[in-house]
Structure 1
């Protein structure tokens, strides 16, 4: 029975944005919401325990300011005055671009929009980007190159069971978005084929008809080899290629240079498996390729995703029902967060900040002159790397909203040092994250059940999270914080390149969304026809939706692609190695990822007892043969060492991983922080760091004493 007094809302975690209900007032309980079509009542453990983070003991309840090295409680007036004064001082001395803003893929659309507006119109800075750059930026770039438009899935999740062959590349939804696993199981139940590509035999791979287990960093070669087989064995849809695509000749030439035997040598995937996968996909009447962070978090991630898109285009499995390429976006608002202005190069509506028409449109909505808007800024890692540096390229003050780069950024020890070098670090967050612990000022913000706002899920469905409970007395919304800071900054400019005028900032989410609708109108991500009332009535609305009469767009590209000529573009790409390959000193591959009970940097889930009991800390996953060579037993401490640092965690021995590869989850700080060792090498197009592959060695430890060179054993 449904509790009629319960508030219909959505889970605060992944991009499924599963429907749930909250009841119980001050101590709300999570209830099933079977009528929401995405999860149909199902919730993973994180969703089931989401309300635990609302308890005062788990979260920030008052502003904090650093005093003689310690963070101490202060009033909002004192905290905000300190922030505004610090930002103004840095801007006056070093220029507007010396003030940086770093956002998050979990912010609501309203917050993401307002944060971008605050950076450009209140601060006048180009120095803004967000942690979503670390999540799906390579797939976004490849989507735009191939199709002219980026949306995580160009079709609803409900279409997945009806496809004839599904290839999941570097995705583990059994642990990252468990309620979606039913869709992949239903592919097989309906007679289709499920193929999983992953260096590990994950819980998802165990569901597959065929598991391809390539060497980390070789997904591009694997996709090229599959296209080679499709071409050589006559499985190309020549009519579709001629009618709806361009660039096949160059893509064909690149693929023919990657014959199966060569691809086997590069990837370790046997030729027989390569041919079997290609034939399953090529002969199926319909088919999909879905990727996640595996192929995307590489220094060649855009090219890699482009090569997988090529398979859909060559076989006519794009722009047709129950077919196409999609990206399984990770963060809760990973899709909406990249559409409305917190990316370094974008304005609301997925507009380019360099486009004069886009600048004029958004400037008119904000009430500023187009020339007052800054140009493109540095992307996430580049921005973090610039922190605290002297000279015109340095960012001296940083506002962080809803992100924890101390744990989530690559080469994390270096990023931590850069954060410490700032003149002013301000963090607005729900909890005292590891990044907040370094801050000069910490601003406690409302969280999912304490505020109303929209998010855009992996399907492009705009949903509404509704306030179900009141926040603690001294907690404020991010929209209120931005409004108060903008008022204190008072429209002061830096006297130079980026004059700033007084701009209105509303803190009512529905009013902010109404402005977002106007700012996005006419853009690729057009929300003009979406309203709170309509979302409530329709279980969400799919963008683009340019008018209130428009039905929304659950399925893209059925008539044409979003390119100028309406044709999809093949990617002419060739394999190249990872930025860092194993050698004599660092002979193993490290790959990283998530586990079921934790989420992203773990700042929230590590505070929930039921989740930490399930997976209390980091671990190093390695093959039994590698463990035997090192003389390591299950649970023994291991150091994973790269050119950037070392992480220490217990060994977890399993045959589910390749013998030449080790795996670490990235949810924890401290000695087990996986991102201490990861490589910040960037994809030249998306600027995605290469989280998924770097060269490491293992060092076995004896108790608290490390075995070092000359006295210990290395592999």
Structure 2
């Protein structure tokens, strides 16, 4: 009681002429609760305070969260629309002039109508992002399919969450990122984290991770790097990048051999066990060690700990998902929970540690190439009919499925797609094989509109840039990594002439002659209420999760079917999975190596990831002085023995190159990386982007590129190179 009273007093403590606005962080999918400090005289956000009443982070914040408010009134904010008058300067920040909204809208509408008249409706495409609210993501899908009437829409979650979604759907029949609420994490007996550098990417969950060990539980980490998380692990499975599937198959083999499987659970609630046993039987610790580089005794110990744990949660992240076999990796790790029956109950289950702020909700309501609101499928006639009733269109008017994000660039190159609307994403930094992507944006795409709050690297290829609001200047909902729908609250009025993305689309739809389907959406709440209706009856059913209920309950877990439904914090408590027979699938998954293995010319394995001070492409965080000062530039991690072999020293600039491109980085010598592997963080653009080097090999199911593994080489430079 005293603790609660203290936290309440802290939350209510404000300075003169200030008010606190309860909301959530704009960055990762922890969506940590925070209070924004607003000066009531100027109506400007001036700071942030912890929010101790939010159950996910309990007042804890990371360096990005405590400085997030600084982006709202940043000097770099775009205040008016920009139109490019000098096409010769495309690919640079030059050649733009400020314009009115009317002029920008008129140009966009004229270009869209011209191209669709000449080349068909599908000549215009939409590319969205999942750092937007559910309302914006939902309207993005409707705008593409109803206002533009195009089949081509996809989103940047294709580079982030797509493999997790595909694997969860295949194994469990539904994609909700976590089968348990985050408040269960610290109460389990074993955490098995695969491909996650949570200590830097999701630091506000770490108090729960450490508490597992403090309570006598165990931590197992599969990662090529000895991160802070891996250093504390009871077992660190230091595998080669791209070999997770072999490791997971070995776990299943050992769990079966050592009697740690739940035969009754398997018989009653799963399919595919016998087929899977046949596939995994060759993955002995010794054979798996040859593939992964992990010592056999570590593999044996990890399987023993997980197998004996009364409760356990398997968690995975981009390390296993951003691979050409990312979907198989996800299903393979889910197999661990299914063969042991450690799912569908408190303190046990599976979870993907979502990266982008609305990575869950942003993929549920129509931004994906084949998806409709409520996680319906555009290939299912019944699903199409249900959504068409809400949208007021005929089923035959619903466009066909499109293609994945990277494949859209290929369609731009061959002129199938001639114009692009880009919202809340920065593919000129985040896409793989960037030399190709940038060439397509500059030379092949005829017209591009970008909605952004800053002039990002992708804006440099735009013909029109529309200034959007930050998260703190609008309201709406997001869905965090648990599947908890939360409320974002407006803290100040939009700066300059910036507008929310949803409003821009409503206004554009009117000018495109499709206003009858949009003009009733006058507020973000109007959009959300339509989303609720459109999702009703779908897997991701938000219908009962009103804004009022979200505020009252501190979030609502979907599915939430009606007013009386409190939501679903735990999935599968009834052991009914989302298949016709109610059974989950244990997937038999033969191992295949990465798309590109090391060779004599490219003998190293290259991987990449985040640092704690930056977020995604860095478009937001590289502008914040503290974050920029703490990590001003990228680097390449090299093991000391590898550095000695190449004759390179700490802080020396080297050329790192692959078959697709090159970049120059300072060397960071560390024993935390494997001898056969190099690591580079991916938050920088232009010639510092690691995606100049990455391979666009796509997962056959999720269409996720293989960001996390390719063959590379380091070259010592005769003279010090100036890094731009």
TM category (shorter chain) comes to over 0.9
**Aligned residue for 2:419?**
397
2:478 aligned to which of 449, 455, 477? 455
**CA shift for structure 1 position 321:** 2.1
Is the partner of 1:58 in helix, strand or coil?
coil
Is the partner of 1:195 in helix, strand or coil?
strand
**CA shift for structure 1 position 647:** 1.4
2:35 aligned to which of 14, 21, 24? 21
Is the partner of 2:186 in helix, strand or coil?
helix
Structure 2 residues without counterparts, runs of 5 or longer: 1-9, 88-94
Is the partner of 1:23 in helix, strand or coil?
strand
CA 1:318 to 1:27, structure 2 compared with 1: closer, same or farther past 3 Å?
Answer: closer
**CA shift for structure 1 position 505:** 5.9
The answer as to whether partners of 1:637 and 1:702 remain within 8 angstroms in 2 is no
Is the partner of 2:714 in helix, strand or coil?
strand
1:554 aligned to which of 553, 566, 569? 569
**Aligned residue for 2:92?**
none
The answer as to whether partners of 2:605 and 2:712 remain within 8 angstroms in 1 is yes
**CA shift for structure 1 position 704:** 4.9
Query: 2:270 aligned with 1:245, yes or no?
Result: yes
Please give the alpha-carbon distance, in whole angstroms, between the structure 1 residues aligned to 2:146 and 2:473: 28
Give aligned pairs, total.
695
Please give the alpha-carbon distance, in whole angstroms, between the structure 2 residues aligned to 1:255 and 1:8: 50
**CA shift for structure 1 position 566:** 1.3
CA 1:326 to 1:447, structure 2 compared with 1: closer, same or farther past 3 Å?
Answer: same
**CA shift for structure 1 position 320:** 2.2
Is the partner of 1:89 in helix, strand or coil?
helix
**Aligned residue for 1:526?**
541
**Aligned residue for 1:696?**
712
Bigger mean CA deviation after superposition, 572-581 or 559-568:
559-568
2:152 aligned to which of 106, 127, 132? 127
**CA shift for structure 1 position 437:** 1.6
Runs of 4+ in 1 over 2 A off after TM superposition: 501-505, 702-706
* CA displacement 1:507-545 (0-9 Å, x = unmatched): 410000000000000000000001111111111111000
**Aligned residue for 1:160?**
185
**Aligned residue for 1:9?**
23
Q: TM-score, normalised by structure 1?
A: 0.96
**Aligned residue for 1:710?**
none
**Aligned residue for 1:654?**
670
CA 1:37 to 1:318, structure 2 compared with 1: closer, same or farther past 3 Å?
Answer: same
1:427 aligned to which of 443, 450, 453? 450
Please give the alpha-carbon distance, in whole angstroms, between the structure 2 residues aligned to 1:236 and 1:406: 46
* CA displacement 1:28-65 (0-9 Å, x = unmatched): 31111100111111110100001111124031111100
* CA displacement 1:207-264 (0-9 Å, x = unmatched): 2111110011100000111111111122211111111111100011111021211101
Q: TM-score, normalised by structure 2?
A: 0.95
RMSD, aligned α-carbons: 1.3
**Aligned residue for 2:580?**
564
The answer as to whether partners of 1:386 and 1:418 remain within 8 angstroms in 2 is no
Please give the alpha-carbon distance, in whole angstroms, between the structure 2 residues aligned to 1:617 and 1:699: 19
* CA displacement 1:432-453 (0-9 Å, x = unmatched): 1000121100000011110001
Is the partner of 2:44 in helix, strand or coil?
coil
Is the partner of 2:154 in helix, strand or coil?
strand
* CA displacement 1:653-707 (0-9 Å, x = unmatched): 000000000000110012221000001100001101000000011111133569x
**Aligned residue for 2:508?**
485
The answer as to whether partners of 1:28 and 1:469 remain within 8 angstroms in 2 is no
**Aligned residue for 2:66?**
48
**Aligned residue for 2:393?**
368
The answer as to whether partners of 1:490 and 1:502 remain within 8 angstroms in 2 is no
Please give the alpha-carbon distance, in whole angstroms, between the structure 1 residues aligned to 2:608 and 2:496: 39
**CA shift for structure 1 position 332:** 0.1
Please give the alpha-carbon distance, in whole angstroms, between the structure 1 residues aligned to 2:625 and 2:533: 43
Query: 2:195 aligned with 1:180, yes or no?
Result: no
**CA shift for structure 1 position 139:** 1.3
1:665-704 equivalences in 2 (<5 Å): 665-704=681-720
Is the partner of 1:57 in helix, strand or coil?
coil
**CA shift for structure 1 position 358:** 0.8
Structure 1 residues without counterparts, runs of 5 or longer: 493-500, 707-715
The answer as to whether partners of 1:486 and 1:505 remain within 8 angstroms in 2 is no
* CA displacement 1:579-629 (0-9 Å, x = unmatched): 110111111100010000000000000000000000001100110011111
Is the partner of 1:144 in helix, strand or coil?
helix
Please give the alpha-carbon distance, in whole angstroms, between the structure 2 residues aligned to 1:77 and 1:258: 63
The answer as to whether partners of 1:590 and 1:662 remain within 8 angstroms in 2 is yes
1:270-669 equivalences in 2 (<5 Å): 270-390=295-415, 394-420=416-442, 421-491=444-514, 503-504=518-519, 506-559=521-574, 560-669=576-685
Is the partner of 2:403 in helix, strand or coil?
coil
**Aligned residue for 1:497?**
none
Is the partner of 1:290 in helix, strand or coil?
strand
The answer as to whether partners of 1:649 and 1:671 remain within 8 angstroms in 2 is no
Please give the alpha-carbon distance, in whole angstroms, between the structure 2 residues aligned to 1:212 and 1:410: 27
**Aligned residue for 1:495?**
none
Is the partner of 1:698 in helix, strand or coil?
strand
Please give the alpha-carbon distance, in whole angstroms, between the structure 2 residues aligned to 1:681 and 1:667: 21
The answer as to whether partners of 1:621 and 1:653 remain within 8 angstroms in 2 is yes
Is the partner of 1:475 in helix, strand or coil?
coil
Is the partner of 1:365 in helix, strand or coil?
helix
Please give the alpha-carbon distance, in whole angstroms, between the structure 2 residues aligned to 1:209 and 1:271: 15
Please give the alpha-carbon distance, in whole angstroms, between the structure 2 residues aligned to 1:439 and 1:315: 52
**Aligned residue for 2:228?**
203
Please give the alpha-carbon distance, in whole angstroms, between the structure 2 residues aligned to 1:90 and 1:388: 16
Please give the alpha-carbon distance, in whole angstroms, between the structure 2 residues aligned to 1:340 and 1:46: 28
1:32-111 equivalences in 2 (<5 Å): 32-69=50-87, 70-111=95-136
**CA shift for structure 1 position 502:** 5.4
**CA shift for structure 1 position 503:** 4.9
Please give the alpha-carbon distance, in whole angstroms, between the structure 1 residues aligned to 2:520 and 2:303: 53
**Aligned residue for 1:712?**
none
CA 1:365 to 1:597, structure 2 compared with 1: closer, same or farther past 3 Å?
Answer: same
Is the partner of 2:412 in helix, strand or coil?
coil
